[in-house]
A and B are shown apart, each in its own frame.
Chain A
Amino acid sequence: MTGLASRSRPEVPAPGSVGPPRRPYTLGVSTATDLDPTARARDILGVSRLTNSALTGWLHGLPGVDQVGCEARAAALSTRSIKTTSKAWAIDTAISMIDLTTLEGADTPGKVRGLATRALVPDPSDLSTPSPAAVCVYGDMVPFAREVIGDRGVNIAAVATAFPSGRASRAVKLADTRDAVENGADEIDMVIDRGAFLAGDYLSVFREIAETKEACGDARLKVIMETGELVTYDNVRRASWLSMLAGGDFIKTSTGKISPAATLPVTLVMLEAVRDWRDATGEMVGVKPAGGIRTSKDAIKFLVTVSEVAGEDWLTNEWFRFGASSLLNDLVLQRQKMTTGAYSGADYVADDAPSGY
């Protein structure tokens, strides 16, 4: 019982101790790195050689997603009323799950330093405000974030592999990843090749993820599926399983550059995938919705869904993240409202609008 139980919040009972009995599985963090991913995939698929047709057969053998049911469930879960102490807990938890993000062509070292400073002190008027889990920047900006953050507990995530389009040769993508890791990134957010995925070349996507994972070394790998471009929930489910099979530590909805980005139904499908993956293999994989989550209300809906679909084990920033930039401000405003009892306003949080300088 290493890993998971000690990583969960203390009040969460160990999995299996409450609720209906689950299938037995061995607990532990992702073991994907310990094993050649291709060998492991062969094992899981039960084939002697990993071919595209084997992958296709496996992925298309997954049950289809009931679109209407999925959207109805997401809508039902977003009607929960979360108030008072639960709300306070949810706000703090949501803040601690944020990957505070700036991914603009106009990012300057100054802006990245500012963002990193915000991550360390999200609300200067209330130092009890928790820090976000990470800052998320382009690979070349990692050193500037590191300058500010040092080793003070906030991770630095870098996007890599020709983010956001993913349109570059494998060699360039891997070099991009290694460069970000050498710059000191703790986490890598890669994009999958949606073109290859949609064309049915799953093996190429698999290899790319596996090789990127290898290039990451100790850094955790988040696999961005860009669900807005995958068109159907069935594809989202397949991309999730494919990413987990190839060794991703996190599956992430979107780059934030495409609309629709992180919708609740898409995240629900992904949460089902990580839940079923743990039942099947015993490994936990994280989920990161990114893009379009701007208000505390939205964030709380996601937390409810995490708890209901995947389970409480995922309610920590080790296994669930929000990719967001303006969400932090809204959460801080709500937090101020709860502590001071008066509605707060934009004058009392950092102005993170692009400055134009």
Chain B
Amino acid sequence: MSARVDVRKTYKLYIGGKFPRSESGRSYEVMAAPSGRRATPRFLANAAMGSRKDARDAVVAARKAQPGWAGATAYNRGQVLYRVAEVMEGRRAQLVQDVRDSEGLTPARAEAVVSAAIDRWVWYAGWSDKYAQVLGGLNPVAGPYFDISAPEPTGVVAVLAPQASSLLGLVSVVAPVVVSGNTCVVLASEDRPLPAIDLAECLATSDVPGGVVNVVTGRTAEVAPWLASHRDVNAIDLTGAAGADGVEWGDLELAAADNLKRVLRPGGSGTEAVEPDFEATPDLGRMTAFLETKTVWHPKGR
């Protein structure tokens, strides 16, 4: 009996709820992280090498999805995001395998990382109908007015996903962006893009509307400047600038200043970018970075 032919997976981009190849037609080899006694890197898969035009298309998709996503009730967004965690749980084996291969972890360690990532997603999903009470409020003013401050989403956010922590880190930067009604274009970890595509598959098979999260894989140094200078992007998270080849986060912040984007700087001090430890329980910082405060003065009768 002949051996069965492998069904190999084509890793593509995730834009507007679809899985297109890069418009450039390019792909690049993704290698497993070195582990054990292997000397030569092991080939994992060919990933699509996204171009600036893929990023452009992704921004268009994100912009289109933004009003609908922001307009959904907080309760509904919470439910939808919780559903993502359910799907992630269902795909646990695939996530564990790809995290193991990408990060070179032991099986037990990979299991723990995937659990932490799913829990992190649930943690942020729970905030959807709570952050407004914590961050907004009724302000005391010296006049016959109700004065109400409410947080609102910034809009379209470009996210440079962490280079090292390919799943837990990814979830930790994407979930806080979308939970408040932003949509995002995620530039996946350059050397570890597979868990990002897995997450995209989880998003595509849950109830998240197409375009809310868009994933582009490829060279960070090639695509990031286009996202930083894109005038239809309202904010950029530079976390993934840490450890990326040929990326100066200062240059990206400079390009982002052109249309006054909100910029979340990478961890570390000075010009040195350091990837934060994503194991720790987060605070609200990553959510508040991509929120605007709307204040309404409403006359109060006498």
Contacts and interface: CB of A to CB of B under 8 A. Distances in A.
B100 interface: no
A8 to B, nearest CB: 35
A348 interface: yes
B157 to A, nearest CB: 14
A345 B232 contact: yes
Nearest to B225: A342
A233 B255 CA distance: 51
- Could you tell me the dominant secondary structure of chain A's interface residues? loop
A341 interface: yes
A357 interface: no
B59 to A, nearest CB: 7
Interface residues of B, number: 11
Interface in B124-175: none
Contacts of A342: 226, 229-231, 255, 258
A344 B229 contact: no
B63 interface: yes
Nearest to A341: B229
Nearest to A345: B232
Contact of B56 (A343, A346, A347): A343
B41 to A, nearest CB: 35
Nearest to B226: A343
A345 B229 contact: no
A345 B64 CA distance: 12
Nearest to B233: A345
Q: Range of interface residues on chain A? A: under 10
Nearest to B228: A342
Contact of A347 (B59, B229, B232): B232
Interface in B220-254: 226, 229-233
Contacts, number: 28
Interface string A313-357: 000000000000000000000000000111111111000000000
Contacts of A341: 229
B52 to A, nearest CB: 8
B81 to A, nearest CB: 26
A357 B29 CA distance: 55
A173 B57 CA distance: 46
Contacts of A344: 231-232
Contacts of A340: 231
B39 to A, nearest CB: 44
Nearest to A348: B231
A23 B233 CA distance: 56
A127 B205 CA distance: 47
B57 to A, nearest CB: 10
Contacts of B59: 343, 345
A280 to B, nearest CB: 44
A344 B56 CA distance: 10
B229 A346 contact: no
A58 B216 CA distance: 58
Interface string B82-103: 0000000000000000000000
A341 B231 CA distance: 11
A322 B77 CA distance: 42
A175 to B, nearest CB: 45
A257 to B, nearest CB: 25
A267 to B, nearest CB: 26
A338 B294 CA distance: 35
A205 B230 CA distance: 52
Contacts of A346: 63, 232
B113 to A, nearest CB: 35
**Which of B226, B230, B232, B233 is most buried by chain A, counting CB atoms within 10 A of its CB?**
B232
A343 B229 contact: yes
Nearest to A336: B231
Contacts of B232: 343-347
20 contacts: A340-B231, A341-B229, A342-B226, A342-B229, A342-B230, A342-B255, A342-B258, A343-B59, A343-B230, A343-B231, A343-B232, A344-B231, A345-B59, A345-B63, A345-B230, A345-B232, A346-B232, A347-B231, A347-B232, A348-B231
Closest 5 CB pairs of A and B: A345-B232, A342-B229, A343-B230, A344-B231, A345-B231
Interface of B: 56, 59, 63, 226, 229-233, 255, 258
Given A343-B226, A348-B231, 8 more contacts: A342-B255, A343-B59, A343-B229, A343-B231, A343-B232, A345-B63, A345-B233, A347-B232
